[in-house]
Structure 1
Amino acid sequence: MTYGSETWSLTMGLIRRLRVTQRAMEKAMLGVSLRDQIRNEEIRRRTRVTDIAQRVAKLKWQWAGHIARRTDGRWGLKVVEWRPRTGKRSVGRPQTRWTDDIRRVAGSRWRQAAQDRVLWNSYKRPMSSSGRQLVEMMMMTIYLRFPLSFKEPVIAQWVGLRLRFRGGEFESQHASLTFLSYVRFKQLKNDLLQR
């Protein structure tokens, strides 16, 4: 079910379809029907199967690090670096690219970060405790509006939470916050707004 998942662009719709399929397979393995009214958490506990979204995110993270560290000029890296001839994407909301969710976690310089295995794995380590956090970090970015005076991208550590300020000189006065939990997000927001 995860064959080739390293190359997928993770979207909420894709993750939802994968989870629905996985739940159906787990119910079939246990011989459980909807009439039995057993919660999905209980079925997951009985089967002891890893959540498909967590598995796909982990495989993609490992593959991204592998691709970024390659120096032999194979097609994998060339495809990641490829840009259309016109230099423009089609009109309308742009489709999710393969690198978009990697950039949400590791920033725009993810390929340089992947060269250092310790740094690259440090992005993954806090996420592997529950597994779900990697998926959340790949899929979500929250924007806060408050004035910033930073001239360069800054990475700040605060209670184990990685806060990334994006943009060259922050002309739009936005700070993007990739978060691990909503509670920590609210604590950080209150702390920053009080300063």
Structure 2
Amino acid sequence: MRPVWNNQNIHWKTKIRLFNTNVKTVLLYGAEIWKRTRRLDQSLQVFINKCLRQVLRIRWSEKISNQDLWARTGQQPVTNSILQKKWRWIVHTLRRTQPNIARQALDWNPQGQRRKGRPTNSWRRTLDTELRKIRMSWGEAKAMAMDRTRWRAVVKALCSDRGEED
């Protein structure tokens, strides 16, 4: 995409739209089921910031904060984007009929210890941790998933405090 970013005949807003539709979507494809780590989030954010700075033709000598960069381009931190995708996918799966295998997989919670060398947290355990931050249990989240307006408020609460640590 470097020739597009360097092309001075294309307006920067068009470049941002191209970035969102072509680069960011491919980069975050399937991110809703990733087991995220701080290192992964940081590498994704660094790549996105680098692309945005190329689009806006901001050189390394020009100091601009990430928040200013995101405000100029209408972006949000990558952690928010991934969390929104993740919780939208979860609610989509929870609204399916009961015999659906994806819905059954969300309810499955393996017990016991993990093998030596494996991460202590699983994807499912991260869900419970995120829900605990807003003082909600998995059962309450499943019940609330059927009400779309209340669920939007839950997703907003889950994603609201993200990105300030960058």
TM-score by length of 1: 0.55
Unpaired runs of 5+ in structure 1?
137-195
Q: Distance in 2 between matches of 1:125 and 1:65?
A: 14
Instruction: Give me the CA root mean square deviation.
Output: 3.0
Q: Choose from 71, 74, 77 the match for 2:103.
A: 77
Q: Distance in 2 between matches of 1:79 and 1:114?
A: 13
Identity %: 24
Partner in structure 2 of residue 150 of structure 1 = none
- Of residues 48, 54, 58, the one that matches 1:32 is 58
Q: Does 1:16 align with 2:42?
A: yes
Contact 2:130 2:158 in 1 (8 A): no
2:121 corresponding residue in structure 1: 96
Q: Which protein has the bigger strand share?
A: 1
- Matched residue type, 2:65: R
Say which SS state the counterpart of residue 91 (structure 1) adopts: coil
Amino acid across the alignment from 1:97: S
TM superposition shift of 1:78: 3.9
Q: Within 1, Cα distance between the matches of 2:43 and 2:139?
A: 30
Paired residue total: 132
SS at match of 1:54: helix
Q: Give the alignment partner of residue 116 of structure 1, picking from 144, 153, 157.
A: 144
CA contact (8 A) 1:106 1:123 kept: no
Give, as a single letter, the amino acid of the residue that structure 2 aligns with 1:65: V
Deviations 1:107-144 (A, max 9, x none): 4841452222345444334455xx3x1x47xxxxxxxx
For residues 84-104 of structure 1, the C-alpha deviation after alignment (integer angstroms, 9 at most, x for no partner) is 6x9541125634321222211
Q: CA deviation at 1:54?
A: 0.6
Q: 1:43 Cα shift?
A: 1.9
The 3 A distance-change label for structure 1 pair 31 and 125 is: closer
SS in 2 for 1:35: coil
Closer/same/farther in 2, CA of residues 79 and 126 from structure 1, 3 Å limit: closer
The separation in 2 between residues aligned to 1:73 and 1:14, in whole angstroms, is: 34
Q: TM-score, normalised by structure 2?
A: 0.63
Q: Which runs of 5+ in 2 are unaligned?
A: 1-26
Measure the CA separation in 1 of the matches of 2:141 and 2:107. 16
Equivalent position amino acid for 1:113 in 2: A
* Secondary structure at 2:61 match in 1: helix
The secondary structure found in structure 2 opposite 1:99 is helix
- Residues 62-85 of structure 1: CA distance to partner in whole angstroms, max 9, x if unpaired? 21222233224333234334566x
| Residue among 94, 99, 112 paired with 1:68 | 94
Q: Secondary structure at the match of 1:18?
A: helix
Contact 1:68–1:111, Cα closer than 8 Å, also in 2: no
